[in-house]
Amino acid sequence: MKAEDNPKANSALKKDDLIVITGAGGFIGGALARYFREQGFTRIRAVDKKALYQWYQHVPGVESLCLDLRYEDNCKRACEDAVEVYNLAADMGGMGFIERFRVECLRSVLINTHMIESAYRAGAQRYFFSSSACAYNVELQKDPNSRALRESDAYPAMAERGYGWEKLMSEIFCQEYWAERGLKTYIARFHNVYGPWGTWDGGREKAPAAICRKVIEAKGTGAGKIIIWGDGNQTRSFMYIDDCLDGIDMIMHCDELIATPINLGTSHMISINDLVSLAERIGGTTLKREYDLDAPQGVAGRNSDNTFIKQALNWEPSTPLEEGLKKTYAWIEQQYEDRKAGKRTVS
């Protein structure tokens, strides 16, 4: 179901209202700019600190600004005349990045702090913040069979070091801007998002893209083996990008959800070993597995409890992992070939 068909997520947004999307040079922000453009919105401002040539997607008809949003003046510029603001900018990556660069992750608090104030001052009607399942109490995620996380499980707080605490603190900003200043804010806690146009190499990639790439590389080089981070028993759930976009749209336009953190993820939990098997099946190969027990692996088990989103929106992300991973694998394979051929690629 699309947001426009969902009576629980109705919006009075006009096609020429200005939508601002930050982090639009990256995976989800870039896909969101395309999503709104394809829905006929005519005024979309995409913002990212990366130079334009490094943006993953270029969406025709979208204003693209290169601004570092850790600085207040840049946030003011980004928010000028905004009706809706989607803040997806953050210095982030998969476990390999967030375990190693906790200061960089924490410093993203500057982005949300200045963006929400600028959105408020610009008179924006709605403000979206992309939080994360890393905001949940890590004590509840010590077993691969941990029960799925409910929204209330963020407290008592013991978030993932660095990245998770930044998300939790920024959520609090969103809640208080509503409570004290009446800015309508919306907070989605994303569980792993994957799909075409996502980071697939370079150190910031997440498990689905990394595993697809490793399978493709192993086939390409004939190495016949794959290195898995940890013992492979750790579990997660993975949401396809199209579900994430529909979810963002519905959450942002559901008045029941103002200032209320909500899970946005699938409730289908799978181990990393099984994810590797799936990628191998898609690639038509079987590889020898080697386990790097010293590599970053994050919590032992994490899944999304979707009771609340089903009740609030009568919807939950539902793209089967196999279907989404097939598309992702095919896209990464093409990227891999393009890179070998010396063409510019996303990474």
Question: In whole angstroms, what is the distance from residue 263 CA to residue 322 CA?
Answer: 22
Question: In whole angstroms, what is the distance from residue 85 CA to residue 161 CA?
Answer: 27
For residues 170 and 218, which CB has a smaller minimum distance to ligand NAD in the complex?
A: 170
CB of 254 to ligand NAD, least distance (A): 19
Written as six digits, the tokens of 151 are 């929204």
Q: Which residues contact 161 (CB under 8 A, 6 or more apart)?
A: 99, 102
Binding site for ligand NAD (CB under 6 A): 22-23, 25-29, 48-50, 68-70, 88-92, 111, 130, 132, 190, 192-193, 199, 206
For residues 111 and 287, which CB has a smaller minimum distance to ligand NAD in the complex?
A: 111
For residues 101 and 315, which CB has a smaller minimum distance to ligand NAD in the complex?
A: 101
CB of 14 to ligand NAD, least distance (A): 26
- Three-state DSSP string of 217-260: HHHHHCCCEEEEECCCCCEEECEEHHHHHHHHHHHHCCHHHCCC
C-beta separation of 259 from 178 below 8 A: yes
CB of 40 to ligand NAD, least distance (A): 23
CB of 29 to ligand NAD, least distance (A): 6
For residues 132 and 235, which CB has a smaller minimum distance to ligand NAD in the complex?
A: 132
Phi then psi dihedrals of residue 80, to 5 deg: -50, 125
The residue of the chain with the least Cβ separation from ligand NAD equals 26
Question: Out of 56, 163, 186, 194, which one is annotated catalytic?
Answer: 163
Question: In whole angstroms, what is the distance from residue 258 CA to residue 262 CA?
Answer: 10
Q: Which residues contact 56 (CB under 8 A, 6 or more apart)?
A: 25, 26, 27, 30, 197, 198, 346
> Distance between terminal CA atoms of the chain?
31
Quick one: 283 exposed, middle or buried, by C-beta within 10 A (0-12, 13-18, 19+)? Answer: middle
Does residue 163 have an active-site annotation?
yes
For residues 69 and 159, which CB has a smaller minimum distance to ligand NAD in the complex?
A: 69
Nearest to 45 by CA among 12, 67, 20: 20
For residues 144 and 265, which CB has a smaller minimum distance to ligand NAD in the complex?
A: 265
Q: Which residues pair with 126 in a beta bridge?
A: 84, 184
CB of 57 to ligand NAD, least distance (A): 10
CB of 315 to ligand NAD, least distance (A): 19
At 261, the amino acid letter reads P
Q: Which residues are catalytic?
A: 163
